Structure 1
Amino acid sequence: MNLAAAANENLANISNVLIYSAMAVYTLAFIAYITEWVFGSRSKVGRTAAALAPTAGTEKASTVTVQVKQQGGGTAVLERPKVVTRSAPGSRDVPDGPGAAGGTEKGDLYGRIAVSLTVLAALLHVGGVLTRALSVERAPWGNMYEFSITLSMVAVVAYVVLLASGKNVRWIGLPLVTTALLDLGLAVSVLYTDSDQLVPALDSYWLWIHVSCAIVSGAVLYLGAVATLLFLFRDRYETKLENPDGKQPGAFATSILERLPSAASLDKFAYRINATVFPLWTFTLIAGAIWAEKAWGRYWGWDPKEVWTFITWVAYACYLHARATAGWKGRKAAYLALIAFACFLFNYYGVNMFVTGKHSYAGV
């Protein structure tokens, strides 16, 4: 037993070292992402203003070449006008920006370095979570510290998977590693809990099912929230460019925002992310109710964690319903999505840290 305890303690210490190492590499990745944005020369970025020059709903003339056979042989070349109509308001026909690197080789080099560092940090992060699990031979999310380090790990891994699948999502890299650093910093400084066995109420196979679904849902919803927030900035930027008589964006805002995907692309990305993960969040709520019946003898007891999980579900359901039936797009839908994610954050931090309930035994 003593040897086993020592081995577990060693694994717990290794986990801590790996988490701190991941934080160090995330810091280097953060610097690399910043450098990528800086060296992405603004002068070489494709200007979005040119794409927005024709206002929505206007028509632009071009020509189409037509060959017509003449009597007696030969052909005549005629030209007739062709009408091209821009997209209607709310669905701007705007190209995506060239990305954080701004279309420069130097910026792209730092961007690839940043991605490589992010992958290395993710591997260290995964190692830290796995060794934490091995140290006690259970799921590594029995308290807020373990939940936090696992959630940020899943978010980073999801980002790496999107990159590996060919998706142009490097624009998420900077806010992602920034958030991962903040999350891990809070975890090791405020939420840290020694590696230990579970309290009896948590010692169930439902811990693997219910909490893992909550972690994956939260990590993916975070990516959707980042895209939604960036959409609001980009949409405002495009709106200003469409109104040449109004106040135009400053040089700094232009150098950043014109590299992002178009507002329409960001809006679509956020919607697809939220719609994809919503069924998993629904299952999280149902699995929690089933576990509650087994642990406490009732499916629903108005526990603060149960209530705010349901509130979060309702908020995202309203967002998806508004998009699907009322045709909400753009800023109204974005505000609703951010309110829903704020509910998730309060459920995660506020309820666990400041509200007493049946879930309080999980500890901080």
Structure 2
Amino acid sequence: MPINETLSRYSDWSYTTATAIYVLALLFFLIEQSFGVKSRRAAASAGARARELVGAGGPGTTEVTAGTGTDAPAVTPPALPTGRAERIGRMGAALTVLGVLLHLTALVLRGFATDRAPWGNMYEYIMLATFIGMATWLLVIKKFPVRHLSGFMMLPIVILMFINGTLLYATAAPVQPALQSYWLVIHVSAAAISSGIFLVPGVASILYLIRQSHEQNPARFAKFAGRLPAADVLDRVAYRTTVLAFPLFTFGVLCGAVWAESAWGRFWGWDPKETTAFVAWVIYAAYLHSRATAGWRGGRAAVINIFGFAATVFNLFFINLVTAGLHSYAGVG
């Protein structure tokens, strides 16, 4: 089927615009991270004082608990004026939402332009993985008080998108005959989505180690670590996002084996990409097991998660661009 050049061009424009908006949002988040420390500390101190007052029987807001007729104290700290850094952070979040919508538009238009799933080469794969990474982060900042860390998450995303749009760009075209299968939709999408989600725990685990090192020795990373949330918050972010991605990654590996049997007549052949994917799977399985084992929680588990993240990045770049194998479909000229 002929390629719709107009939709392809609009897809490229949407991708470039999304990248530019992410860069602007990154700057806003870095400003919030740099200058919003006092506001966050003031809010935390106000909440602590309000809890102390309620615990001591001091003035506090009470509300009637439904169905009991009893008064249950509810902590309502005094409203703090919104600082300039807080407003800039909210602007960064709004820009991020806009960038994610444009990112999604680029994917959809690429799919319509080629009349296939828009992840048939490395350029499209990274486009999908980075979109999933940003969408996952939006869910994380809605659940956890880590919005001011968005700059650390967006930095690798922006770098990936810049490299992808310049060095790895591939014009819209039909996929190779070997990829013209419904398994492209199932297997590759599962791999790309899980890879995008794994970006979040990778960054969170690195920040966790920095925070933990500072807590053990306040002289280490004194200026930087003090701006990070508590180590247990970062640990929960890393664990819950890994729990979300790991089953999907497992599903993708299994689907790849089924597709390999259909295409090449064997389920597993220790191709470089298969081997690296299996190593990454073992590492993430070890991380989840270590989180369930009391003696390996915390720093040791974070190190394992970082190794899994490194294996994923190695599989994405080195295996696709350097080694030769049956999975050489990067589409990079």
Q: TM over 0.5, yes or no? A: yes
Larger CA deviation: 231-240 vs 351-360:
231-240
What per-residue deviation string (whole Å, max 9, x for no partner) do you get for residues 138-160 of structure 1?
Answer: 01110100001111011111122
**In structure 1, C-alpha distance between the alignment counterparts of 2:221 and 2:307, rounded to whole Å:** 27
- Residues 14 and 106 in structure 2, CA contact (< 8 A), matched pair in contact too: yes
- Residues 25 and 96 in structure 2, CA contact (< 8 A), matched pair in contact too: yes
- Residues 29 and 150 in structure 2, CA contact (< 8 A), matched pair in contact too: yes
Equivalent residue in structure 2 for 1:196, among 173, 195, 207: 173
Report the counterpart of residue 150 of structure 2 in structure 1.
173
The alpha-carbon deviation at position 260 of structure 1 amounts to: 2.3
Equivalent residue in structure 2 for 1:35, among 31, 36, 40: 31
Equivalent residue in structure 2 for 1:210, among 171, 177, 187: 187
**In structure 2, C-alpha distance between the alignment counterparts of 1:133 and 1:44, rounded to whole Å:** 43
**In structure 2, C-alpha distance between the alignment counterparts of 1:308 and 1:220, rounded to whole Å:** 18
Q: Which amino acid aligns with 1:33?
A: F
Q: Using a 3 Å threshold, how does the CA distance of structure 1 residues 283 and 37 change in structure 2: closer, same or farther?
A: same
Report the counterpart of residue 274 of structure 1 in structure 2.
242
- Residues 198 and 309 in structure 2, CA contact (< 8 A), matched pair in contact too: yes
Report the counterpart of residue 317 of structure 1 in structure 2.
285
**In structure 2, C-alpha distance between the alignment counterparts of 1:138 and 1:279, rounded to whole Å:** 25
Q: Using a 3 Å threshold, how does the CA distance of structure 1 residues 159 and 118 change in structure 2: closer, same or farther?
A: same
- Residues 25 and 93 in structure 2, CA contact (< 8 A), matched pair in contact too: yes
Structure 2 residue 271 is the aligned partner of structure 1 residue 303: yes
Q: Using a 3 Å threshold, how does the CA distance of structure 1 residues 248 and 162 change in structure 2: closer, same or farther?
A: closer
Q: Using a 3 Å threshold, how does the CA distance of structure 1 residues 186 and 106 change in structure 2: closer, same or farther?
A: same
Q: Using a 3 Å threshold, how does the CA distance of structure 1 residues 313 and 230 change in structure 2: closer, same or farther?
A: same
TM-score by length of 2: 0.84
**Max Rg structure:** 1
Equivalent residue in structure 2 for 1:115, among 93, 100, 109: 93
- Greater helix share, 1 or 2? 2
How many residue pairs get aligned? The number is 301
Q: What is the SS of the residue equivalent to 1:219?
A: helix
Q: Using a 3 Å threshold, how does the CA distance of structure 1 residues 289 and 249 change in structure 2: closer, same or farther?
A: closer
The alpha-carbon deviation at position 320 of structure 1 amounts to: 1.6
Q: Using a 3 Å threshold, how does the CA distance of structure 1 residues 184 and 39 change in structure 2: closer, same or farther?
A: same
The alpha-carbon deviation at position 310 of structure 1 amounts to: 0.5
Equivalent residue in structure 1 for 2:107, among 129, 132, 136: 129
The 5-angstrom pairing of residues 256-267 of structure 1 reads 257-267=225-235
Report the counterpart of residue 71 of structure 1 in structure 2.
none
The alpha-carbon deviation at position 43 of structure 1 amounts to: 8.1
Structure 2, unmatched stretches of 5+, are 45-54, 58-80
- Residues 33 and 114 in structure 1, CA contact (< 8 A), matched pair in contact too: yes
**In structure 2, C-alpha distance between the alignment counterparts of 1:249 and 1:222, rounded to whole Å:** 23
What per-residue deviation string (whole Å, max 9, x for no partner) do you get for residues 263-290 of structure 1?
Answer: 1221122122212321111111100000
Report the counterpart of residue 210 of structure 2 in structure 1.
233
Give RMSD over aligned pairs.
Answer: 2.5
**In structure 2, C-alpha distance between the alignment counterparts of 1:44 and 1:179, rounded to whole Å:** 25
Report the counterpart of residue 9 of structure 2 in structure 1.
13
- State the identity as a percent: 39
Structure 2 residue 19 is the aligned partner of structure 1 residue 23: yes
TM-score by length of 1: 0.77
- Greater strand share, 1 or 2? 1
Report the counterpart of residue 336 of structure 1 in structure 2.
304
Q: Which amino acid aligns with 2:83?
A: E
Larger CA deviation: 221-230 vs 261-270:
261-270
- Residues 44 and 104 in structure 1, CA contact (< 8 A), matched pair in contact too: no
Q: Using a 3 Å threshold, how does the CA distance of structure 1 residues 230 and 138 change in structure 2: closer, same or farther?
A: same
